[in-house]
Structure 1
Amino acid sequence: MMTITSKVRVRELYERMGLSYLELYLVESVTGYLTLIEGVKLRDVRVIDIGCGLGIGAGLLSGITKQYACIDIACGLLRYPASLPNVDVVCSDGAMLPIRSSSFNTSILLNTVNADLDGSDLIREARRVSSLVLARSPRSIDNELIATLLRGG
């Protein structure tokens, strides 16, 4: 279970990384989003990107969606996706979303779910706010949790 202290540390880490995140993970992130959405209809649907970071998904996908909402615990990172057209940003913990149930068609969680921390809570919230959850992690243990929770109904 993730504590408030560990969430603060995560937020501070990503706030410090800022744009240097792109130097480390841009290609991996673009490939991850494109792979995750392969075969999924996103045109004219409402998408919520939980743990969006610098908004790479928003940059790739917001032009085809009806609405694209970026959610991240690191508020400073949201200034980048906030500058994109058709993108809403909310600084929030993805495990406790301030969003009405069934508000979105699709939730995206790319490299956000961590089975050792609050991965179950993130998936639960994504399922609460949308009818389709697309999630993937670089770690096998996280992907096993994702598959189990999404298969479970």
Structure 2
Amino acid sequence: MERLAEYYDKLADVYDELYGQEQTVKYLKALAYVSGSRIVDVGCGTGIGIGLLSPRYVLCVDISLGMLRKAAARGLDVDLLAADAYLLPLRRRSFDTALAITVFERLEDSRVLADFAEVVVAETLGRWLVSRG
């Protein structure tokens, strides 16, 4: 996981230029399934989805400190957490919705987020999973 964090740290400065439009479209699609006022955005990257999710409470989680710095630079009112998506230090059912856009290699792996949120919305390689607990 350390190599993954290093990869995204190096990509952080150009991520929005390379993937911003694509990721924004995915977040807009995910909004149709977001429920409640407490959202955890796992793999939030540079924070592309933050503005779209406000005025809800958003916890942005990413393995890359470089990505989290970019998210913080957006100047929006969110909390940031550096953590591995598979080892989240969160309380059970502490969020209404968990988002995981372009995070897990296998879409089924996003089910690990069901412990933390009533609704899980995940996307991988154009495939979507929406589960309601």
TM-score bracket relative to the smaller structure = 0.7 to 0.9
Q: 1:113 aligns with which of 104, 112, 115?
A: 104
The equivalent residue for 2:2 is 8
Higher strand share: 2
Contact 1:113 1:123 in 2 (8 A): no
Gaps of 5+ in 1: 1-6
Contact 1:81 1:87 in 2 (8 A): no
Q: Deviations over 1:1-48 (max 9, x none)?
A: xxxxxx122111100011211111010000000011225445xx0000
Greater Cα radius of gyration, structure 1 or 2: 1
Higher helix share: 1
Q: 2:86 aligns with which of 88, 95, 103?
A: 95
Q: Is 1:25 aligned to residue 19 of structure 2? A: yes
Contact 1:18 1:77 in 2 (8 A): yes
Equivalences for residues 34-113 of structure 1 within 5 A: 34-38=28-32, 40-42=34-36, 45-61=37-53, 63-65=54-56, 67-83=57-73, 84-113=75-104
The equivalent residue for 2:114 is 127
CA-atom RMSD, angstroms? 2.1
Output the CA distance in 1 between the equivalents of 2:33 and 2:97. Answer: 13
Q: Deviations over 1:38-60 (max 9, x none)?
A: 25445xx0000000110101132
Contact 2:34 2:119 in 1 (8 A): no
State the identity as a percent. 32
Contact 2:10 2:66 in 1 (8 A): no
Number of residue pairs aligned between Structure 1 and Structure 2: 132
Output the CA distance in 2 between the equivalents of 1:134 and 1:39. Answer: 7
Output the CA distance in 2 between the equivalents of 1:39 and 1:101. Answer: 20
Gaps of 5+ in 2: none
Give the aligned residue type for 1:137: T
Q: Deviations over 1:77-110 (max 9, x none)?
A: 1122224332000000011111111110000000
What SS does the aligned partner of 2:49 have?
helix
Length-normalised TM-score, structure 1: 0.77
